[in-house]
A and B are shown apart, each in its own frame.
Chain A
């Protein structure tokens, strides 16, 4: 089966500009996650969708970050305006069910490396 697709792979923008990332999860996976991984740290969950509903966005900086998952399939993550500290790898992952189900495995995309200058 096809894996999780993300684009772009790399993005360099100036601070205060806007940027958007796209994710296409594995077909049939109900749960979609966006993670931010800053160098030297573990991936931090930004937002978790179950189908097209938000399960958890407690760590999403809502003043500048937004995400949507229209029709419960593809998802976009937007940053507006970007700050220097947003430089990170943004990972999208999907799983067949939510994490409350034992043995749920998340499948990751290759990530988007964002550099804000």
Chain B
């Protein structure tokens, strides 16, 4: 079982602010790092899958970076919008998906 830590646990930002979260994980036995977005009453939705050290992925205003040597990934949201409000989960995979506790983001209009 991997120990996956996400910080902060929750975050409130004003509309238009940029923000970022951290996912920390053991760097051994690493296959890939997944980011999921989970809105209330909906299914968790995959945002990114990253595998290589130094990987950077981008989807619209959201981007993510990966450092497999030191065991962390950052998720950035530029110009937050109310529709970005959700819980963001990271999951490094070894033999299974190991989910962190998530970062709950609330964007205040």
Contacts and interface: CB of A to CB of B under 8 A. Distances in A.
Nearest to B102: A42
Interface in B16-49: 31-32, 34, 36, 41-46, 49
In the complex, which range does the number of interface residues on chain A fall in?
A: 20 to 34
Interface in B44-99: 44-46, 49, 51, 89, 93-99
Interface residues of B, number: 26
A3 interface: yes
B interface secondary structure, majority: loop
Interface string A71-99: 00000000000000000000101000001
Contact of B95 (A4, A100, A108, A110): A100
Contacts of B42: 110
A48 B86 CA distance: 26
Contacts of B96: 33, 45, 48, 55-56, 99
A102 B97 contact: no
Contact of B101 (A41, A100, A109, A110): A41
Interface of B: 1, 4, 6, 31-32, 34, 36, 41-46, 49, 51, 89, 93-102
27 contacts: A33-B97, A35-B99, A41-B101, A42-B101, A42-B102, A43-B44, A43-B89, A44-B99, A45-B96, A45-B97, A45-B98, A56-B95, A56-B96, A59-B1, A91-B44, A93-B97, A99-B95, A103-B32, A103-B49, A105-B34, A106-B46, A107-B43, A108-B36, A108-B45, A110-B41, A110-B43, A111-B43
